[in-house]
Structure 1
Amino acid sequence: MAKRPSATASKTVAVRASKPSTARRPVRAPKVSVVVPCYNEQETLPAFADRMTAACRAVAGASYEIIFVNDGSRDRTWNIIETLSRGDPRIVRVNLARNHGHQLAVTAGMSIVRGDWILIIDADLQDPPEMLADMMKLGADGFEVIYARRRARADETHFKVATAKLFYRLLGSISEVNIPQDVGDFRLISRRIADRLNAMPEQDRFIRGMVAWLGGRQTEILYDRDPRYAGETKYTLSKMIRLALAGLTGFSTAPLNLAIILAFVGIAMGFAIVVYILIGYFFGQATRGWSSLALITVFFGVGQFFCIAIMGAYLGRTYMQVKGRPLYLIDEIVTAEPRKPRNG
C-alpha cells in the first residue's frame, strides 16, 4: 500500500503490471499522457479506449499513459474503467469522491500526469483521438500548446451553436486575455505548460482561459467535430451558464466597469431630473402624472440590482477562494506504480 498522497486523497492503490518483468524496470516518464474526464460514459468508453490506445501507440509506441477520471458517474463507467485498466497497465484510473464537474475532473487528472506531452480530451468521441498525431507534429515544431478549433459541429442544436458563438464573441471582446474562439478543452500541452497550470490555485476554473493566460507558443489545428458516439451530452444549460460565468468573471473586469458606467449614467440622469424640476418650479409648471416617476423608479431599481448582482459574482469568487478547500477529493488512484498528486 503506497503512502497517502495528500489530504485531498483518501487512498492510493498500487497494482502490479500484467508483466512482472516490465514492472521491475526503472520507471521512465511516458512521452504522452492523456487526461480523460468521464461522467456517465458507459456507452462510449470501450470504443474510445480502443481508438485512443491506437492513436497513442501510433505516435509514442509503448511510452504513453491514459488517465481516466471518473467524475462521480452514476452508471457503470467506473466498472468499465476498472476492466480496461486490468487489461492494460498503461491505463490509470482515478475515482473522484463525488461529481465535481468537468473542469475539476480535468484538474484532478492533470495533477498526476507524468508525460512530456499531455492531451486533454473527452470520452464522447466528438473529438477524434486520431488528431494526436497531427498535434504532436506541431509540438515537434516548437509549439507548447496546440488547441483544436471547431470548424463545424455535427448534430448540435442551433441554439447551442448560436449561444456558443455569442459567448465566445462576448468573452473575446471584454477579456483581458486573448482566448481563442470556438475552442474547447481539447488540446495538447507541453510539460512546462502543464506544470504552470497545476500551480494555479483558483477554485472557479476555466481551463481554456487559464491555458491562454499562461502564454508560450500556441497554435491551432482545425477540425470538424463529430456527433456523440452514444448517449446524451452531459453539459446541460445550467452547466454551460456556470462555465460561461467562470470565464467572464475570471478573465475580465469589464462587468465591474459596467457597474461604474451605470452608476455615472444614474448620476447624470438624477442631475437632469433635478434641473427639470427646478425649471418647472421657476416657470410655474407643475409636473403631472405618475408614469415618468414610475419609469425612473424602475430604472434605478433595476440598475441597483444589476450592480449588486455583478458585485455578488465577484464576492462569490472571493468567498470560494478564501475558504481554501481542496479543489477535488480523490478516493482512489490505481496504477502500475505509486504516484503523488501535485496539488488538490
Structure 2
Amino acid sequence: MTVTVLIPVYNEVDGLAECYRRLDAVAGNCAENFEFLFVDDGSSDGSAQWLLELRQRDARVGLIELSRNFGKEIAVSAGLDHASGDVVMLLDADLQDPPELIPEFIAAWREGYDIVYGQRLSREGETWLKIQTSHWYYRVINVLSDVPIPADAGDFRLLSRRAVEAVRALREKHRYMAGLYAWIGFPQKALPYHRHPRHTGQSKWNYLRLWGLALEGITSFSTVPLKLATLLGVVTASAAFLYGVYFLLRTLLFGNPVPGYPSLIVVMLFLGGVQLICLGIIGEYLGRTYVESKQRQLYYLRGLHPSRERQHDD
C-alpha cells in the first residue's frame, strides 16, 4: 500500500528541512510505502528550488509548482488531482499538525473509515481571539448548513482513494475544502490531538483572509443568509407600516405635531442600513455565481515533477 503525504507550501523554506526530517522518520517506522508530494503555491522564497534539490536526493519526493499563488484550498485541490497513493494524508508544512500521528490515521482507515480527520483539542501558539472566533465559527456554520461540518477540524486528515476521487469530481471555483469533505459523505472518524505552535515563520492566515474563508464556507453550504435577509426585510417593512399607522391615528386624534428631527434621521439610517446589509448578502451570492459561470480552470502548473519512484512505476 502506498501513502501519499500531501503538503501545500507557500514561503516555508525555513521549515522544510525539519518537515522532511520528521516525515522521513515516520515513513521509516511504517510498513507502508510513502510518497511525499509537495505543492508549491507560488512561493517567492526559494521553496520550490529547495524541494527540487530534495527530489534529486530522495526518490519518494514529488513536486507540483503552481503558476502563481492560488491559495491553500486550490493548492490542496491540485495535490489531490495528482496524488496516486491508495490513501492521501494532508499535512501542513508548518508542523503545527504533528506528522508522528500519521500511523494512527492509517490505523483508523484500516478500521473502515474513508476520512479520518484530526480534531484539535488545543491550539498552542495562537491568540485567544483566533481560537474563540474559530470555535464560534464552526458552531454558527453548523446551525446554518444542511451538511454537518466537524467542529475544530482543519486540513489535517486522511482520505481513502474513493474519497479522493469524490472530491476531485467537485470542480467549483470557490472551494471550502472542509465543507467538501463533509458533503461527499462516506464513513468518517475524528482523531483528537493537540496542535503545536508553528515550527518557524509566521502564519499566512491574517484575519482578513480568515474572514474570506468563513464567507466561503457559509455561502457555499447554506442559503440561510438569503432567507434571513428576506425575513429582515419583512420585519422592517411591517415595523415601518405599524409605525405609519401609529402616526396616522395620532394625527387624526390629537392633531399634527411636527415630528422630531432626530427620530426621522434614526429611522432613515436604520432603513438604509437594512437595505445595504440585504444588498451585501445578495451580492456575495451573486458574485460567486458570476465567478462560477465563467468556467475558468482551477489552476495552472508551472512545473510537474512526480516522485522518481512513481515515474519508475509508470
Is TM > 0.5 for Structure 1 vs Structure 2? yes
1:90 Cα deviation from its structure 2 partner: 1.2
- Which residue, 144, 163, 167 being the options, matches 1:193? 163
Q: How much has 1:281 moved relative to structure 2?
A: 2.3
Across the aligned residues of Structure 1 and Structure 2, the Cα RMSD in angstroms comes to: 1.4
Provide the residue aligned with 1:306 in structure 2.
Answer: 277
Please state whether the residue corresponding to 1:222 is helix, strand or coil. Answer: strand
Query: Structure 2 residue aligned with 1:319, among 258, 266, 290?
Result: 290
Match of 1:80 in 2: 50
Q: Which residue among 129, 132, 135 is the counterpart of 1:162?
A: 132
2:194 to 195, 211, 224: 224
Deviations 1:181-218 (A, max 9, x none): 11101100100010000000111111111000111100
Name 1:19's counterpart in structure 2. Answer: none
The DSSP-based 3-state class of the residue aligned with 1:44 is: helix
Q: Distance in 2 between matches of 1:338 and 1:137?
A: 28
Report the Cα offset of residue 338 of structure 1.
5.8
Q: Mind listing any 5+ residue stretches in structure 2 that lack a counterpart?
A: none
In structure 2, the partner of 1:9 is none
Q: 1:338 to 1:314 in 2, by over 3 A?
A: farther
Q: Whole-Å Cα distance in 2 between the matches of residues 60 and 322 of structure 1? A: 46
Aligned equivalents of 1:184 and 1:159: distance in 2? 17
Relative to the length of structure 2, the TM-score reads 0.95
Partner of 2:209: 239
Q: Deviations over 1:277-296 (max 9, x none)?
A: 22022113324212222111
| CA distance, structure 1, for counterparts of residue 175 and residue 157 of structure 2 | 16
Residue correspondence of structure 1 range 275-294 to structure 2 within 5 A: 275-287=245-257, 288-294=259-265
Moved more, 310-319 or 167-176: 167-176
What are the within-5 Å matches in structure 2 for residues 123-162 of structure 1? 123-162=93-132
Query: Within the alignment, does 1:180 sit opposite 2:180 as a pair?
Result: no
Matched-pair contact (CA < 8 Å) for 1:138–1:146:
yes
Out of 244, 250, 257, the residue aligned to residue 274 of structure 1 is: 244
Identity %, equivalent residues: 37
TM superposition shift of 1:130? 1.1
C-alpha distance in structure 2 between counterparts of 1:48 and 1:124, whole Å: 8
> How far apart in 1 are the matches of 2:11 and 2:176?
22
Does the 8 A contact of 1:31 with 1:60 survive in 2?
A: no
Letter in 2 for 1:162: Q
SS at match of 1:69: strand
What per-residue deviation string (whole Å, max 9, x for no partner) do you get for residues 137-165 of structure 1?
Answer: 11111111100000011111111111111
Name 1:26's counterpart in structure 2: none
CA distance in 1, matches of 2:245, 2:311: 75
Aligned partners of 2:55 and 2:311: how far apart in 1?
15
Normalising by structure 1, report the TM-score: 0.87
Does 2:279 match 1:331? no
Cα distance change, pair 60–200 in 1 and its aligned pair in 2 (3 A): farther
- Picking from 106, 115, 137, the partner of 2:76 is 106
Residue 56 of structure 1, CA deviation: 2.9
**Which residue is 1:51 aligned to?**
22
The secondary structure found in structure 1 opposite 2:79 is helix
The question of whether the paired residues in 2 share the 8 Å contact of 1:32 and 1:60 is answered with no
Q: Which structure exhibits the higher relative contact order, with contacts defined as CA atoms closer than 8 Å and separated by 6 or more residues? A: 1
Shift of 1:109: 0.6
Letter in 1 for 2:55: S
Which residue number in structure 1 is paired with residue 174 of structure 2? Answer: 204
Q: Which amino acid aligns with 1:244?
A: A
User: How many angstroms apart in 2 are the aligned matches of 1:184 and 1:37?
Assistant: 13
Task: Report SS of the residue matched to 1:203.
Answer: coil
Superimposed CA distance per residue, residues 106-156 of structure 1 (whole angstroms, 9 cap, x where no aligned partner): 011110011111111110010011111001111111111100000011111
The aligned counterpart of 1:27 is none
Structure with greater proportional helix content: 2
Corresponding residue SS for 1:320: helix
Q: Residue 282 of structure 1: SS of its match in structure 2?
A: helix
Tell me the SS of whatever aligns to 1:115: coil
Aligned residue for 1:14?
Answer: none
Cα distance in structure 2, aligned partners of 1:165 and 1:243? 14
Q: What amino acid maps onto 2:5 in structure 1?
A: V
Q: Secondary structure at the match of 1:266?
A: helix
Provide the rounded CA distance (Å) in 2 between the counterparts of 1:107 and 1:58. Answer: 28
Q: Distance in 2 between matches of 1:92 and 1:80?
A: 12
Choose the corresponding residue for 2:64, options 86, 94, 97. 94
Aligned mate of 1:295, from 260, 266, 284: 266
Structure 1 residues 117 and 57: CA distance shift in structure 2, 3 A = farther
Q: What is the distance in 2 between the residues matched to 1:155 and 1:264?
A: 45
